[in-house]
Structure 1
Amino acid sequence: MSRTRTATLDNASAGASATAKLAVSADPAALAQLRADRRRAIARSLGRSLLNALLTFVVLIVLWQAVVSLTGISPYVAKGPLDVWSFLVTDEDAAKHRDQLFPLLGQTLSDSLIGFVVGMIVAIVLAIAFSLSKGVEAGVMPLVLLLRTIPLVSIAPVIILITGRGTPASVAVIGTIVVLFPALANVLFGLSRASRQSLDVVHVYGGSRFTALRKVNLPGALPSIFAAMRVSVPAAVTGALLAEWLSTGTGIGGSILKFNAQAQFAQLWASIALITIITLLLYNLVQILENIVLARMGMATSTA
């Protein structure tokens, strides 16, 4: 009986979609106008995202230079944007400097990807489980809140002891903890904002709670899922740096202390600048992807 109701709902949804497509395709002018409007919406979204990225980069450079120039820190210790540019691009040994730092950057990005992917998957799975069962939410949410409230530095030795020092598992666990809570909160919020009228339609046609989740809640939660991804990008980088500092000793997180101890301040500032710029670029790439997907789906973007 349940399968029959689900099939009826699928047929009704497919029929409504087909009817809408036929109505638009019956009028070539309306179809052309719809496609033109969609392209303009995507172009506007891309333009806003690129402008925001440029403004963020300019503000970052200005604040960086202001801190270096106005705080009175010795130029031997504090390096400004021009110093880092010279170190990486125009100096005679710039190629050697890049060869030294780029592998560290690649390792940190790899570690960040592990934490981002695992954290987002766990957050989405938990959010779906919480939406389907209040009992699961009551049992698991306190543990999630506990992991969020306890400083990660204090429980990191236990995590490293269990997973092994310098292993990918330790990077994954630390990165997941950093990413999990903000991503979970955003996805849960999106799932709870589903249209009541759409949910009623699913129930009228005999759809189950899982069917409503698949057809209404998840599509409606896409803006929140993308918001969770944007928040998780810098969180994943932070988690990777922390894991490298506490566990693996590799990447930029593991090298910053070495640069500081060896008074290699140019390497220190250059590595921080590189990871910061890459994080901003990744954040804006996710935002551009969000704008494209939501514009194609006819949904309002978050960067209005």
Structure 2
Amino acid sequence: MTPKAEPVHTAHPPAAPTAQLVLAADAAAQARLRADRRRAVSKAVLRALGNALITLVVLLVLWQAVVSLTGISPYVAKGPLDVWNHLFADEDAAAHRAVLFPLVWQTLADSAIGFVVGMLVAIVLAIAFSLSKSVEAGVMPLVLLLRTIPLVSIAPVIILITGRGTTASVAVIGTIVVLFPALANVLFGLSRASRQSLDVVHVFGGNRPMAMRKVNLPGAMPSVFAAARVSVPAAVTGALLAEWLSTGLGIGGAILKFNAQAQFAQLWGAIAIITLITLVLYNIVQVAESVVLTRMGMKGETR
């Protein structure tokens, strides 16, 4: 008699421990990813603070050097210590701040209008130019024309169309100042899209707008943030111009009054405050850039 064949038993690992190992590995990977993101954010914040501190020190040194070495009368030229005393140490410092701070808030509001409208127009135009060369050929000469003509020379026409002292005049003047550098940065970012990724979209039946949404725009995020960083000081400049030429409000409108009334400490204080706030806003955008790009997996493209 032939012996019966013994049944062959194949060893199968239990399913539950395997699933637990996979979940544990996944949880560990997610924890490492969160830790990397926190480190990247902390590094970005520290780098922004360091850059801001260095810039502030350089500005203070240059400011004091101009006041001390150019021979300008101390009655007109105020140094950093003079402005500090005027705003925080003198007996009337609270009254001085009460005059300046509402003006600063007005200028920031006007800057926000120019920044938001200018960035939106720049992004929309950049997308339109990338999708249609005909649109680019028709509109780009107008953008270049606005860039080459001094804003002061066309401001009367802008104010005549939009109305003196209106929000529309602030938006238009701020947009003109912000538009060109923001548009150039966003266009550059959209043109850097991966050719392989675009081919994948087309292979799967995607059209050009879909490729723009899935590939070009996400890939252009570093350039969009670069445009935002450049646009922060440009928006403040545009707000000051709009206030000086149109509304007569904010820091831009008060500069002429301070100069005419020989309130030079107020004048220097206003300039110092708006410069400091611009520096802070620039670094806030830089930190936001690092956070967003890190979450998008584009950490290596932050600066």
TM-score by length of structure 2 reads 0.90
Contact conserved, 1:48 with 1:303, CA < 8 A, in 2?
A: no
Q: 1:196-211 residue pairs with structure 2 within 5 A?
A: 196-211=195-210
SS of 1:27's equivalent in the other structure is helix
Cα offset, 1:62, TM superposition: 1.1
C-alpha RMSD of matched pairs (Å): 1.4
Tell me how far apart the structure 1 counterparts of residues 24 and 170 of structure 2 sit (CA, whole Å).
Answer: 51
Query: Aligned residue for 2:252?
Result: 253
Task: Give, in whole Å, the separation in 2 of the partners of 1:210 and 1:260.
Answer: 53
Gaps of at least 5 residues in structure 2 are 1-21
Amino acid corresponding to residue 102 of structure 1 in structure 2: F
The separation in 1 between residues aligned to 2:110 and 2:38, in whole angstroms, is 36
- The C-alpha deviation readout for 1:220-276, integer Å capped at 9, x for no partner, is 100100010011111111011001111111111011111111111001100110111
Q: Give how far 1:154 is off.
A: 0.5
Q: Please state how far the C-alpha of 1:24 moved relative to its aligned partner.
A: 8.9
Q: How does 1:84-99 map to 2 (within 5 A)?
A: 84-99=83-98
* 1:291 pairs with 2:290: yes
TM-fit CA distance, 1:209: 0.6
1:55-134 map, 5 Å: 55-134=54-133
Q: Distance in 2 between matches of 1:202 and 1:24?
A: 32
The 5-angstrom pairing of residues 12-91 of structure 1 reads 27-91=26-90
In 2, the alpha carbon distance for the partners of 1:49 and 1:208 equals 40
CA contact (8 A) 1:156 1:246 kept: yes
Q: Which moved more, 1:247-256 or 1:41-50?
A: 41-50
Q: Are 1:300 and 2:303 an aligned pair? A: no
Identity of aligned residues (%): 80
Distance 1:279 1:202 in 2: 41
What's the secondary structure of 2:299's corresponding residue?
coil
Q: Which runs of 5+ in 1 are unaligned?
A: 1-22
Determine if contact 2:182/2:231 at 8 Å carries over to the other structure.
Answer: yes
Farther-moved stretch of structure 1 (27-36 vs 128-137) = 27-36
Letter in 1 for 2:299: A
CA distance in 1, matches of 2:29, 2:297: 15
Tell me the equivalent position of 1:267. Answer: 266
- Check whether the contact 2:110–2:170 (CA below 8 A) recurs between aligned residues: yes
Q: Measure, in 1, the Cα distance between the counterparts of 2:218 and 2:50.
A: 28
Between the aligned partners of 2:209 and 2:51, the Cα distance in structure 1 is 38
Q: Which moved further from structure 2: 26-35 or 96-105?
A: 26-35
Whole-angstrom distance in 2 between the partners of 1:207 and 1:170: 41
Do the aligned partners of 1:223 and 1:301 also contact (CA within 8 Å) in 2? no
Measured in 1, the distance between the counterparts of 2:247 and 2:181 equals 25
Q: Aligned partners of 1:249, 1:38: CA distance in 2, in Å?
A: 45
Any idea what the Cα deviations from partners look like across 1:273-293, whole Å, max 9, x if unmatched? 011111111111111111111
Give the Cα–Cα distance (whole angstroms) in 2 for the partners of residues 158 and 290 of structure 1: 37
For this pair of structures, how many residues does the alignment match?
282
Match for 1:185: what amino acid? A
Question: 2-side partners of 1:88 and 1:51: how far apart?
Answer: 25
